[in-house]
Structure 1
Amino acid sequence: MGWGTRLLLAVVCGVAVAGVYAGQPVLEPMGHDLGVPRDSVGWFVAAGQLGYLAGLVLLVPLGDLLDRRRLIAGHLGLVALGLAATAAAPVAWTAFAGLVVAGGFAVVVQTAVAYAASISPPGERGRNLGVVTSGVVVGILGARIVTGGLAEVWGWRSSYLALAVLAAALCVLSFFALPPDIRTGTARYGQVIRSLGELFTQPTFLSRGLIAFFLFASFGTLWSGMALPLAGEPWQLSEAQIGLFGIAGLAGALGAARSGRWGDAGHANRVTGIALALLLGSWLAIGQLGWSLPLLVLGVVVLDFAVQAVHVSNQHVLTTAYADRTSTAIGGYMVFYSLGSAFGATATTSLFDAAGWAGPTVLGAALALGALGVWALASHTSKRRERRLAGLARECAGIH
């Protein structure tokens, strides 16, 4: 898997996920243009998220049945169609429909991750996953910066149109540039969907999924709530100035791209524990937002570094443990991601109204502590299981 392939897959991930988050900076003009009341504009983002959640369950498992290269190209084409429909929407329902389609097929991200894992030699899987998943973070945080700038110059529709053009170009490029990844199994779609349910009984999958829930709930608490205190006293920052904090997040997240190499060296579990401790510590700095912007920037960098390091390590563990159904495992894992992100986003605004920035700070730290607790319990259970198996092996050897 050459550098060009890694870069292409990272760009695919970035563009696809940006389509889900592109509406966040432009909700007000979208609502005004399409006649949606201010208290309902959040549904522009929710529509994409709901489509994404459905795609995780219904579409991602197809990667364990079909050629993932064709799936990546096909899904990108449908992402482009949904984004184009949103950009051209004359009325609200058309925009909502376009966003559901774009969000549903944005799960091409998980197909790309599974594809990267499947064509990577075992010793390079973590490094490749680190590069590819960095595109997701760039898409999430970069969308906040780029979309706002395009909308200010050419209107909110321009951001969706630009993303549609990029997705269409990537559709063609992926089909011709990526090597085939043909599935040779005999499983049927219904069997694959049932196997997704079975994964939720597996300790490794469940523990990594719960870590992801707490991890991205903590992430969502910061990024969905931070704009509220920054726009108020004493800072009174503009939307463009607040958007620049995304650069700090990008710096932290891209710095963690190397964490995949640590996983290749057999340190994925240790990296997870260290990164979760950093996540918890980052909230000490983030909590000082009321009087120190430099400490906030430091906290943002550390938090995004920790989130990306854990995310890459989680996917490395899962694609190694479930190498025969990587798409299904990644799709199921990302369900936890989506639920965690939604919980953090909805809880932080209510807590800010009730307790100021102290409320989201305590929530974010508590969620980080929850992830650390799950990791510690899973690690302890795994070590006990290993000791028990080693003891049984010694007993059997003694008998014979």
Structure 2
Amino acid sequence: MKLSRTDVLLMAFCTGLIVANIYYCQPLVILIAKEFGLTESHAGKITYLTQAGYALGLFLLVPLGDMFERKKQILLITCLAIGALLLAAFAHSFLLLEIACVLIGASSIIPQLVLPMAANLSSDQDRGPTVGIIMSGLLIGILASRAVSGSIGFLWGWRTVYFMAAGICFLLLLLMARRFPQSRPSFKGTYNELMSSMWYYIKTEPVLREASIINFLAFSILSAFWTTMVLFLANPPFNLQTLQIGLFGIAGAAGALAAPLVGKFSGGQNPRKNLLVGLILQLLSIAAFYFTGSHLYLFVAGIILIDIGQQAIHVTNQTRIYAILPEARNRLNTVFMSVSFVGASFGSALGLWLWEQGKWPLFCWGCGAVIVLNICIYKFYSGKIKINIDAGNSN
């Protein structure tokens, strides 16, 4: 079966709404801190617990897409997501909310099952653009989630956000059951053999190692920013409310618009060049954040740069790993995305720590150092990654 344009757009729509579950909590930290009588930095733990849960779900559940029929797996995990979101909405203690956030993360892995499904059903020429379009839906979902949760949380409370998310997932469950295609598995072994094979790919595939390491650090920067910016904007000189903070997510829409364009260039003879562009854009964004002062136009410019930079890095790396072994796309994606979201969890924790130690200036210096380290890793691998011109992929 070949994917039509409608199929790809539907997948982008569903992935965007489901991935939003991971990011609803970020603008809500201030409201949650007030309800449970916590400091804002302590309440911020739910951001990296959600991301850690996502990494756990990626590692344990996504590989099963190579072993079982993907559509059934997608529907079952969506049911689990609905239960986790309702648990968060009814949480009567911060501990229960922390547990719910881990479960929300672990059950919001649907995009990482949809992407390999789309890659399997796409031709070699269409794979990059298809991944780019679905990644656009993904990023729009991330950005919209912050704006929507900030607005709804401000007007009707943070619990309403989770009730809304559960309702959205229920409607998506019905839509995906009706419209998603079947996707047959290719792996015939046991679960232990399935998991063991991932370590083999880590040892034998340098492209997978490079893409995973670079994405770990790139995601840590993005996550550190979106977690810490809430504290930055909520304090002097801005003193913004949750509603206003959430609206800054819209500024990152340029990153979503850039994803299909990046996808078109990510399957060329040397897609690695996109990685350096993305890293430089991230570094420029940190410079804009550092010199923001009381000038929010610099802050908005930084948001646009950091999101476009992240898209250049992520879409390029994801397209590269899908070209390695078609029969093992779920396992390769598991390694890649698990490492990426461990990086996201690490970044949230790092951002909160840098904020506590030295507020916004130290945060910017710390993130700048991480990006420079990532550029050094890129340069290190430049002499080790062979460019396969005939296949049109980086290997």
Q: TM above 0.5, one fold? A: yes
Alignment correspondent of 2:233: 230
Q: Deviations over 1:67-122 (max 9, x none)?
A: 11222222112211221232234555554444333221111121111111111111
> Match for 2:84 among 69, 82, 85?
82
State how far apart, in whole Å, the 1-side matches of 2:155 and 2:277 are: 43
Q: Does 1:248 align with 2:251?
A: yes
Alignment correspondent of 1:115: 117
Task: Tell me if the contact between 2:22 and 2:50 (Cα under 8 Å) persists in the aligned partners.
Answer: yes
Q: Does 1:370 align with 2:373?
A: yes
State how far apart, in whole Å, the 1-side matches of 2:181 and 2:296 are: 47
Query: TM-score scaled by structure 1?
Result: 0.88
The alpha carbon displacement at 1:214 in A equals: 1.2
Task: Tell me if the contact between 1:10 and 1:131 (Cα under 8 Å) persists in the aligned partners.
Answer: yes
Alignment correspondent of 1:302: 305
The alpha carbon displacement at 1:216 in A equals: 1.0
Counterparts in 2 of 1:205-220, with a 5 A limit?
Answer: 205-220=208-223
Alpha carbons of structure 1 residues 48 and 354: separation in structure 2 relative to 1, 3 Å: closer
State how far apart, in whole Å, the 1-side matches of 2:298 and 2:277 are: 21
Task: Tell me if the contact between 1:248 and 1:300 (Cα under 8 Å) persists in the aligned partners.
Answer: yes
Task: Tell me if the contact between 1:221 and 1:363 (Cα under 8 Å) persists in the aligned partners.
Answer: no
Alignment correspondent of 1:180: 182
Task: Tell me if the contact between 1:17 and 1:136 (Cα under 8 Å) persists in the aligned partners.
Answer: yes
Alignment correspondent of 1:140: 142
Task: Tell me if the contact between 1:64 and 1:183 (Cα under 8 Å) persists in the aligned partners.
Answer: yes
- Structure 2 counterpart of 1:332, one-letter code: V
Alpha carbons of structure 1 residues 314 and 67: separation in structure 2 relative to 1, 3 Å: same
Alignment correspondent of 1:200: 202
Q: Deviations over 1:39-63 (max 9, x none)?
A: 7534443443332222111100001
Query: TM-score scaled by structure 2?
Result: 0.89
Task: Tell me if the contact between 1:256 and 1:308 (Cα under 8 Å) persists in the aligned partners.
Answer: yes
Alignment correspondent of 1:397: none
> Match for 1:335 among 322, 333, 338?
338
State how far apart, in whole Å, the 2-side matches of 1:83 and 1:163 are: 7
Counterparts in 2 of 1:1-400, with a 5 A limit?
Answer: 1-30=3-32, 35=36, 37-38=38-39, 40-90=42-92, 92=94, 94-201=96-203, 202-383=205-386
Task: Tell me if the contact between 2:49 and 2:345 (Cα under 8 Å) persists in the aligned partners.
Answer: no
Alpha carbons of structure 1 residues 336 and 243: separation in structure 2 relative to 1, 3 Å: same
Alpha carbons of structure 1 residues 99 and 312: separation in structure 2 relative to 1, 3 Å: same
State how far apart, in whole Å, the 1-side matches of 2:132 and 2:265 are: 10
Deviates more, 1:133-142 or 1:170-179: 133-142
The alpha carbon displacement at 1:228 in A equals: 3.0
Alpha carbons of structure 1 residues 50 and 280: separation in structure 2 relative to 1, 3 Å: closer
State how far apart, in whole Å, the 1-side matches of 2:73 and 2:115 are: 12
State how far apart, in whole Å, the 1-side matches of 2:220 and 2:95 are: 29
Q: Deviations over 1:247-286 (max 9, x none)?
A: 1112233323321111233442122222222222222222
Alpha carbons of structure 1 residues 17 and 264: separation in structure 2 relative to 1, 3 Å: same
Structure 2 unmatched runs, 5+: 390-395
State how far apart, in whole Å, the 1-side matches of 2:244 and 2:158 are: 18
Q: Deviations over 1:155-192 (max 9, x none)?
A: 22221111111111111211221111111432221111
Alpha carbons of structure 1 residues 273 and 197: separation in structure 2 relative to 1, 3 Å: same
RMSD across aligned positions (CA): 2.3
Identity of counterpart residues, as a percentage?
28
Q: Highest relative contact order (Cα 8 Å, sep 6+), 1 or 2?
A: 2
Task: Tell me if the contact between 1:351 and 1:360 (Cα under 8 Å) persists in the aligned partners.
Answer: yes
Kindly tell me the number of residue pairs found equivalent between the two proteins.
385
State how far apart, in whole Å, the 2-side matches of 1:231 and 1:102 are: 26
State how far apart, in whole Å, the 2-side matches of 1:173 and 1:160 are: 20
Matched residue SS, 2:266:
helix
State how far apart, in whole Å, the 2-side matches of 1:257 and 1:267 are: 17
Matched residue SS, 1:362:
helix
Structure 1 unmatched runs, 5+: 388-400
Q: Deviations over 1:320-361 (max 9, x none)?
A: 013221111111111221122122222223323433422121
State how far apart, in whole Å, the 1-side matches of 2:296 and 2:97 are: 37
Deviates more, 1:39-48 or 1:124-133: 39-48
Larger radius of gyration: 1
State how far apart, in whole Å, the 1-side matches of 2:287 and 2:91 are: 44
State how far apart, in whole Å, the 1-side matches of 2:192 and 2:77 are: 20
Matched residue SS, 1:268:
coil
State how far apart, in whole Å, the 2-side matches of 1:184 and 1:205 are: 20
